[in-house]
Structures are given as structure tokens and as C-alpha cells.
Amino acid sequence: MQSISFGRSGLAQTVLVFLLTLTAVALFGAVLAYWTWAWLAPRAEPRIEPTAAQSGGAASARAIFGSVPSNQTAAAPTGIAIRLLGVVAASGGRRGYAVVQIEAKQILALQEGENLAPGIRLAEVRPDHVILERNGVREKLALPEKRVTAAPAAQTVNK
């Protein structure tokens, strides 16, 4: 019967063990680098598509369901130095409220029917605009367009 000698190894066996050890260490390093990057790397911000692409869906829906015609002669856009900051539209028989900024100096919370300034009255409050009455002429003051910004992505830790 042959016996295996563990005392001395040949050159081929030493090279083979060295190459296998080197391969195992390199593979372990690659796996460690991958999972470190996956757990600790900053998250990429999501891309936001332009709103023009979204308006196609609204146009398609308008074609199917129709749209409510707006009365263009009822209120003209306002040209005064009043900025609409927020509204609480009327509901349940109650009057609406509006928060406006006058000439970038004064912020007022007004109820429907109150005067902003001499000769300027808050006539109506709607969900997206208000109607002002200046010396008997009705003017529309719309809420500013909301800017779409990407919210920071919530970082989660894989467990």
C-alpha cells in the first residue's frame, strides 16, 4: 500500500495552493467591495420627466370625458402687486379665506368679502384662484405654479 507523504511538497503543489489562495482572496475582496458599495454608496436622485409629457394624458382624458368650459369673460388676469400665497375654499355654506402678500411687504389673511386695500375687495375664493374686485372690475389672481422637485430618496439599509 502506498503512503502519502505530508512532510515535503513539490513545487507544483506549492504554486497550485498559492494560486488558489490568491483567487480566493481576490474573490472575497470583490464581494466585499460590491456589498460595501451597495450599502454605503449615496443613492442616485430620481429623474423627473418634464410636465409637458404629462399633459398628453390630460389632453387624452379631456377628449374622452370632455371639459368644463371656462367663462373667460368673467375675470381678467390681475396686474396689481398682490401675490396669492394660499386659499381655503368655501364649503358647507361658509365663506372662503385667502392668504395674500401685498407689494412684498405685508401678508394678510382675508375672508371672502373683506377689503385688501382701499378700492380692492376679495370677491370670491376658489380652490386654485381668487377673484378680486377693483373699483367694480373683477380680476383673477391665480395661485403660483408649484415647482416639481425631487424629494431626497429615503435611504434604507438592507438587512
In this predicted structure, the answer to whether residue 142 has a pLDDT above a threshold of 80 is: yes
- In this structure, the answer to whether residues 81 and 35 fall within a common structural domain is no
Q: Is 150 a member of any domain?
A: no
Q: Is 149 a member of any domain?
A: no
Cell numbers for 101? 402678500
Q: Is 113 a member of any domain?
A: yes
The per-residue pLDDT for 85 is 85
pLDDT mean across residues, the chain: 76
Q: What is the CATH number of the domain that holds 81?
A: 2.30.30.830
Q: Is 159 a member of any domain?
A: no
Q: In whole angstroms, what is the distance from residue 121 CA to residue 78 CA?
A: 13
Please state the separation of Cα 44 from the chain's center in Å.
Answer: 15
Q: In whole angstroms, what is the distance from residue 130 CA to residue 144 CA?
A: 12
Q: Is 21 a member of any domain?
A: yes
Q: 98-115 pLDDT, tens per residue? A: 888 887 778 888 888 888
- Asked if 129 and 141 count as a contact pair (C-beta separation under 8 A), the reply is yes
Q: Number of structural domains, the chain?
A: 2
Domain limits for position 22:
11-39
